[in-house]
Each structure stands twice: as C-alpha cells, then as structure tokens.
Amino acid sequence: MADHTFPLLPQHGGTDSGPEPRWDFSTNANPLGACPAVLEAVWAADLTRYPDPHYVALRQALAAHHATDPACIVVGTGVSELILRLVRACPGPVLVLRPTFSEYARCARIEGRTVRAVTSPANFLQHQREQCSTHPQDHRGLGFLCWPNNPDGECCDLGFLVEAASHGPLVADLAYAPLCPRPMLDAIEAAASRAVRLYAPNKAFGLTGLRAGYAVTPYPWPELHECAASWPVGPDGVAFLQATIGAPALDWLEAARPVLTDWRRALATGLANLGCAVRESQASFLMAEVGEATTVAAALRRHGLRVRDCTSFGLPGWIRLRAAPPEPRAALLAALRTELRR
C-alpha cells in the first residue's frame, strides 16, 4: 500500500491553477516586493550565453560574504533542488521536526528513504543519538531544521541547534532568516556553523519566481557538486545571487526589516481582534486559527484573496498569512470577518 503520509507531489498549497488573486497572502516572499538593485541586475543578465559550469566567480563571491572556502559553496536551482541533492548524498533515514516544510520528507520519499518525524527537540536529539550509536558516520541519515520554521515561525533554541549540529549530519534551512532582525540572523548563522546552511535569497529579495539558491557546507563536499545537473542556475540566477550580497541590496533589506515587523504586528493585532488565535513569527509571516482552514481558504479565494491552508502540515484549523501593507491587510480582515461569522 502506498504511504500517503508524505506525498510525492509538491504540497506548497499557495499557488493554484485559478486566476491570479487580487491579494496573495500565501507566499512567504518579502511583501515589499522586489529589491530594485537585485531586479536591475537580473534584467541586465546576458541570457545569450551559458554560465560558467563551475560557477567559480559566484562561489568566490558567496564564500567571501560568508567568510568561508569557495569549496564549501554549492549553487543550486533553489533550495528544493539542493534538499534533494543532500538527501541523495546521505544514505540513511531523514529526520524532521514537524510541522515543517514538506520538501524534506518528499525528497526522502523520492529517494526511497525512511522518514522519521518527531514533534519535539528532545525527540529529535534522541533519534540522532540512536543513529550515532547504531550506524557508521556515513549512514546516519540527515536531519532538517528550518529556522524560522515554516509554517509556524518557530525559532528553535540555539543551544538545541548547536547540539543537533554536533550529532549531525544536520541541515539548517535559513530561507527566512534574512527577514528576521539582524542580530537574530547573526546568532543563527553562528549556531549553525557545523551544519549545512541553506539560503534562498529569493524570499528576502522578493523574487520567488527566480529559482536560485545555495548551500554553505561546514567542509568541502565534492559529491554535492558532482550529482547536480549541468548548469543548474542560468545567467539570470548568477546575477541575482551576486546582487543579493552587494551593499545596495543589503542596505535595502536592512531598511525593510522594521517595516515588515510593523506590518506583521498590525496583522496579528487585527486577527486577534477577530477572535483568532495567532502564532507570530520573527519573519514575514504568521499563522491564524480559523476553524475549518480548507473551507475558509476557499471562501477567501472567492474574495480575491489567496492564503495558505495549513492542512497539509497537519494543522487543519490554521491558515498561514504573510505580512502586508494597510490596503490588502484591511481587505483580508474584512473578508475574514465576514466568513468567520458564517
């Protein structure tokens, strides 16, 4: 019998085949939109040429930004593709802390791996210890932690992350960390120094349709380069990644963070005033308890609003929403007030 606990089809729950909504709250991309300096670099990319197949200059630039060896930089077609590559390179089970991003378990299933899903940091560490005591180092499998976590925004204790990385191998998915206050980003990068760190700058810089990301590994890992398809990132992705570590982009993001915080807090207050329980994150999104999430999400879609139904995360009463400026936020709260009364 097929195991439907971790489906093989993507379970991202936001985009759909219907007409584009007036307001999209389902995405975790920066609600300020695309960073102008990054967008300009992408538009200027020369798409008539192949990129360097080894991405030497790009990896050198990213390595300098992260103060590491270029051999520790792995470029990929977004974080999802890098997750699949990491699972392929690590024999053994895949360990996840639920609820979390579905791609970790999905990639494990694609590769025929066992998925061990736990719901507490203590159980996560216990499973790691068991693997350490019963399996050789190269067959211990791979643990995944998302910080802040998707969908609930949970920022696990940094001491737990340090310990999990010491047992390893561990992947710290930092897709949303750059949207957090700068001191938090610095702290998580230091705590995850012994883990593989995944970066998806398209979230923070508002270009999720551009598929380019990278990993920073704690030591050179040639297999991660060797098992990739040729040219996984095109010239536009190369230009994008290079631009995201430039001063104009980083200054723009620094100025954006307090705005995101204000918008997120305003949304949390509005939801609480409607009687919704709220789980707020430190990034650009939060969760609200609305009862029948699938029903409410479908009703909001009819209002021209798209939200993330969290049923696929095992949270059928919750929807995930990104922060938004006043006009779309007011439209959402008005529509949600109407639907919750029904």
Torsion sign over Cα 301, 36, 261, 102 = positive
pLDDT of res. 14 = 63
* Average pLDDT rounded to a whole number, residues 72-80: 96
Could you tell me where in the chain the CATH 3.90.1150.10 domains are found? Answer: 23-32+256-341
Give the pLDDT band (50/70/90) at residue 264. Answer: very high
pLDDT at 136 over 90: no
Please spell the DSSP secondary structure of 244-289, one letter per residue: HTSHHHHHHHHHHHHHHHHHHHHHHHHHHHTT--EEE-SSSEEEEE
Mean pLDDT of the chain: 92
Residue 3 confidence (pLDDT) above 80? no
Query: Which residues touch 4 (CB under 8 Å, ≥6 apart)?
Result: none
Amino acid identity, position 45? A
Sign of the Cα torsion 13, 15, 18, 24 reads: positive
Residue 283: what pLDDT?
Answer: 92
Residue type, 178: P
Strand, coil or helix: 242: helix
pLDDT score recorded for residue 4: 45
The amino acid that residue 214 corresponds to is Y
Using alpha carbons, select from 319, 335, 332, 327 the residue that is nearest to residue 277: 319
Residue 70 pLDDT > 50, yes or no? yes
Assign domain 36-249 to its CATH architecture: 3-Layer(aba) Sandwich (3.40)
* Range with lowest mean pLDDT among 13-22, 36-45, 169-178, 332-341: 13-22
Tell me: the pLDDT tens digits for 27-63?
989 999 999 999 999 999 999 999 999 999 999 999 9
pLDDT of residue 141: 84
Q: Which tens digits make up the pLDDT trace of 273-314?
A: 999 999 999 999 999 999 999 999 999 999 999 999 999 899
Please list the residue range(s) of the chain that carry CATH number 3.40.640.10. 36-249
> pLDDT tens digits for 7-28?
666 666 566 767 789 999 999 8
Count other C-beta atoms under 10 Å from residue 81's C-beta. Answer: 20
What is the reported pTM? 0.93
What's the average model confidence in pLDDT over 264-280?
97
Domain 23-32+256-341 has CATH 3.90.1150.10: yes
For residue range 209-222, list pLDDT tens digits in order. 999 999 999 999 99
